Structure 1
């Protein structure tokens, strides 16, 4: 989502879109079939990926019981309008109307447009943002936390839902990593801030509890897979041809396995930054410790529909149903998780 406002308006003025080609095409196979534990599935996202993660959890709470939202706002914020996405949902001017968004979510759940809210009864939701974020205003990220809190507090069936709001750390519009550097308060490619804070480790702890040990590197296998093979009903989901999945040794050996679906932000896809997010965000090291595979879907940039920064769809470029159970990108995510072995609901 970094610099989305400026870039979209530039494209709208008729300048030529030049899509990045930093990552060469790699041979791709099928997703591995694992012994997935449905209670240990989480969707994690940064920026546009954060908005997408919220949409995935609300639309399919039975598939995504756990979610980590990094620098994202409340579900339904854009309302299918790009101008609202750029103003209310990024800059917080005007501020998101959280009560109205909660009421809308309840109405949409009752109509079957998103999943039954009762499915969130045992959900773990972790919301992380930095106080120096100049792309998605801290107030917008706080509105995202308030959305979940109001949804929980106003629904007796959700009394046990866990919502953690972690918004007091100092970093910019990025995913903090354990190493230290001079880019912590910036929003610069590849949007991994060297802050001395291991956000990936904290996300795993919030999603799956205390670790049994500490990581000593990544010892599993990183595989590429054919994303086009999962197009729902053959429909274009506006994704790249190749995605990635990290499989820890325990999962490869057939042991019960969790799954994190890690959604990159705008301009953070492999065509733009290579495998920096896949290799360096820190998820793979912790995946070995927890016995959790990590799925890294990849979007693609396009001029038509207008998505020059390869963002996940959180304002409607893929269709008016972009944040419902009928959304093509959400259906793709669900199909991918099921292809990896998610058991059918009993």
Structure 2
């Protein structure tokens, strides 16, 4: 992540840029008239979510909020649920590369989860039973500390019920690992896909699903664009892009029963920044064919009011105080989209 711009922006704005710059990229996706989503025959017990960096923080929020309908979560370079506690300053000081005296209190965060679950703000703790949880972190990551990713797994262990696995020893930078697509694996730069000789998407889906299919050499399905504004909760701005993406294997389009995987990009790894690099090249699509999974690729947008210039997912509260509960505007949007596809989250 290039942070040289910190020298010429005011300190508070710089803080926002540092946080927002967890993932950076280039490119642009032009606005077209996109259709609403089609519905499919989906098996609700096969809904999972994953994400990179800010997408990893969002993935654990989505899972905690809807764990009674989501069967697993994978997080690359993300931290524990509730880490930011609705504060940008806390996010910057405790949830990226914290000093020893600023480390998140995972015990306290676990107690917060229990309280929210009891109140109905998120799913009941029983929803975690048997869920697959997978945390990844590269040893060359200079953006998020390894201990933060370890905490993302540890909070689930403290809550109990889930099946938790970690992969923290691979020599990868702050990037999404692929077999042969993107920049060198030691590089953390746009479009934040790294040629690591390691199929990160394949590993994620193998950890989240128990089947062991033979993967097709290339994706054979269709990548669709859809109008994300159709699913705004009560018309409220969810701070998302106009256009989202959906990968549909041929079998799912033909009416076979399929699962749903939600793949969340990192900051400025959205289509407005990197074009279709993430949605086409991260590696999910060919495995989706083999596993009969529809892959949802929601897209964020950049904004300066509220401060989110790098199009991050909301994991520190810029969209509202209830951002990481079932009532958060981005969470409501996610639930609306999943229901439209045929896999309700509540």
- TM-score using structure 1 length: 0.92
CA distance in 2, matches of 1:60, 1:344: 6
From 110, 133, 139, the equivalent of 1:125 is: 133
Counterpart in the other structure of 2:203: 202
CA contact (8 A) 2:76 2:137 kept: yes
Matched ranges for 1:289-300 at <5 A: 289-300=290-301
Counterpart in the other structure of 2:247: 246
From 94, 97, 116, the equivalent of 2:124 is: 116
CA distance in 1, matches of 2:191, 2:59: 20
Counterpart in the other structure of 1:149: 157
Q: Give the Å deviation of 1:333.
A: 0.5
> Relative to structure 1, is the Cα distance of residues 302 and 324 closer, same or farther in structure 2, using a 3 angstrom cutoff?
same
Counterpart in the other structure of 1:155: none
Counterpart in the other structure of 1:217: 218
Does the residue aligned with 1:63 lie in a helix, a strand or coil? coil
The reply to whether residue 101 of structure 1 matches residue 109 of structure 2 is: yes
CA distance in 2, matches of 1:256, 1:8: 53
CA contact (8 A) 1:180 1:196 kept: no
Counterpart in the other structure of 2:21: none
CA contact (8 A) 1:131 1:167 kept: yes
Counterpart in the other structure of 2:9: 10
CA contact (8 A) 1:20 1:271 kept: yes
CA distance in 1, matches of 2:286, 2:35: 23
CA distance in 2, matches of 1:40, 1:99: 30
Q: Give the Å deviation of 1:3.
A: 5.7
Q: Give the Å deviation of 1:181.
A: 7.4
CA contact (8 A) 2:219 2:289 kept: yes
Matched ranges for 1:42-57 at <5 A: 42-57=48-63
Unaligned runs of 5+ in 2: 18-24
Q: Give the Å deviation of 1:11.
A: 6.3
The reply to whether residue 75 of structure 1 matches residue 81 of structure 2 is: yes
Give the stretch that moved more between structures: 55-64 or 237-246: 55-64
Does the residue aligned with 1:80 lie in a helix, a strand or coil? coil
Counterpart in the other structure of 1:276: 277
Give the stretch that moved more between structures: 143-152 or 52-61: 143-152
From 38, 60, 63, the equivalent of 1:32 is: 38
Matched ranges for 1:250-269 at <5 A: 250-269=251-270
CA distance in 1, matches of 2:136, 2:200: 9
Q: Give the Å deviation of 1:185.
A: 2.0
Q: Give the Å deviation of 1:307.
A: 0.2
CA distance in 1, matches of 2:72, 2:122: 16
Counterpart in the other structure of 2:29: 23
Does the residue aligned with 2:94 lie in a helix, a strand or coil? coil
Deviations 1:299-331 (A, max 9, x none): 000000000000000000000111111100011
CA distance in 2, matches of 1:46, 1:317: 19
- TM-score using structure 2 length: 0.92
Q: Give the Å deviation of 1:114.
A: 1.1
Deviations 1:12-37 (A, max 9, x none): 6679x9x9761112331111211111
Give the stretch that moved more between structures: 5-14 or 323-332: 5-14
